[in-house]
Structure 1
Amino acid sequence: MALALDTIRALPKVALHDHLDGGVRPQTLIDIASEVGHGLPATNAAALAQWFFEAADSGSLVRYLETFDHTIAVMQRPEDLRRIAREFVEDQAADGVVYAEARWAPEQHLAGGMSLAEAVAAVRDGLLDGMARSTAAGTPIIARQIISAMRQNDRGSEIAELAVTMRDALVGGFDIAGPEDGFPPSRLAEAFHHLQRHNLPYTIHAGEAAGPESVWEAVQLMRADRIGHGVRIVEDLVEGEVAPGTLAAYIRDRSITLEVCPSSNLQTGIAETYADHPFGLLERLGFAVTVSCDNRLMSATSLSQEFAHLCEAFGYGIADLHRFTETALDAAFLDQPERERLRALVAAAYHPG
């Protein structure tokens, strides 16, 4: 019998792959759009939420990308970034998340006149607000921001330097986002070399739209600490098993963390149902799999719901969810003392007494 959603929500969880512009509250979109004069497909929160899900689920890349046009449009003022970052933290805490990384691309938020540094500072302030409010509400959470560079642009080195310079602004690490096909990780090699020189960890989107070759570049050339998605590594299996000397074996044997986002993967065509999703096979074969939402608004989901889908599809229980959460915590871009404190909290919650 699958675990109840309320049971899962009460358990502490770790969110590694959650885009700030993919989790804006519908009412917040409506409020800010009204202030800045941006037109939306709907002006009722429930109807707008439904539009986002249907557009992202339509199979049309044009409609899917349009969803981000709307969210990014309401994230061009410091006060709006601060509000959305605060609400990101509050929503995660309400779902039982005890550590969350908000990834976003500052270069997409300059239309209102902010500098890159001002945008990062606004998100920092929002994260601090959200942590303070969540603690006061009895649901304490730690949040960090992951600074992303858009892989199709030519600002990778600049954004990497920004992340290093502003690491004290709750910057946990770096990422590259955007279209995988035609824009391999090696295109931003100098950015990753800068991060390596300055000891800032990073994750790389790979193995979602592009196949194992993108994962190979991310891991073997760019030395990524984690892989965003990575599920198409299953294409490197041999008759459903890990063969010696393959990239899949390298990923598994070194416990390189995969940030898996099941609902999002269904929308992008990696699988048709949760039961068909590669997560179950990768987990059975011993890969370091974790669970995240990607874009909560577009997928109409939460981390608790993602866990619930996997429990129903693969029969996972509380011990499995604890294992996935421990794996995520091990990979978190977080200081070791804070990690150990959260580890004790997580263990006590999953195995009371």
Structure 2
Amino acid sequence: MFSDKETMVNSTQQIKVKQVHRTFSQEFKEHMNSWWVTKFVPSVYTVVFLVALPLNITAIIVFLVKVKKPAVVYLLNLAAADVLFVSILLFHIVYRFSGNNWLLGEGMCRFVTAMFFSSMRVSILLMTSISVDRFLALVYPVQSLPWRTVRQAWLVCCCIWVISLVSTVPILIRQLTRPFPDLNITTCYDVQDAELVERFHVYYYFPFYITLFYFLPLIITIFCYIGIVRSLRAPSMKGAQKRSRAVLLSVVVLCVFVLCFGPANVIWFMHFLQVYNQASNFLYIVYIISVSMSSVSCCLDPLIYYYASSEWQRHVYSLLGCKREQTQPVDPKDKMQESS
């Protein structure tokens, strides 16, 4: 009699599991195979790849010619992170255009996903480092000289790469692919185990991630550029060109932070809360779209190169066949600040 009850309970559970799977498959088919995910997102990635790759490779070549300034070290690493990111986009372009069907196996799925997130985190931390470097160069030009060296800049960049790579360990050690025979596809990272999300992501991983890789860098960046703007208003700060360049650099970096990385991080957190509450997975589609829009930051980064590096400016002028005019003699103090 006991075995009959147990068999009945198991059968009921199996029926419920099949119903849940059928419902999830239907939602997945409606949402993940929509025009937004299979056409719009890979199209955005394609445009970003075609625009950002040559710009950032050019930037790397320019910066490698003569790396003698701390700021150029950060810019060189930022360009390298962008090249890594847009190179990984090729896999996402094929994956999305194929109807979210991953054909390269579990190992490549883990590697591509880890490098995708790692390069984004490197970019955020490097932009924060650029903000701190500009703040020290303009607000404390003399006091910061012992700290603002090429060696120290390389040390900071190495730490950023290590931290970002270590943060992807949870991605590398778990299975990310999931086959859907009824849909004839295999997903990569798009389908997560709800129990794992509840136990690990919501309580441990995501609070650490969003604090270290978004909110803390955002607060530091805002603080630095408030200090920069205040210093630019000081009577001792001369040179309209220097002021405008610093202000535009501040605007570009803050726009990249808030507009490119902000929505993706907030929506990702909301999605994990939905998974925790067993809600619809529609918000994940919004997250995929917001991530594709955040990739536009790779196209905006060359503006950071332009306004933060005199070498990049001279190279751009030379490519356009223009000669940059020197309207006034360079003050020694301005030259020291330009060494940023």
Say yes or no: TM over 0.5.
Answer: no
TM-score normalised by length of structure 1: 0.25
Whichever structure has more strand as a proportion of its residues is: 1
Structure exhibiting the larger radius of gyration computed from Cα positions: 2
TM-score normalised by length of structure 2: 0.26
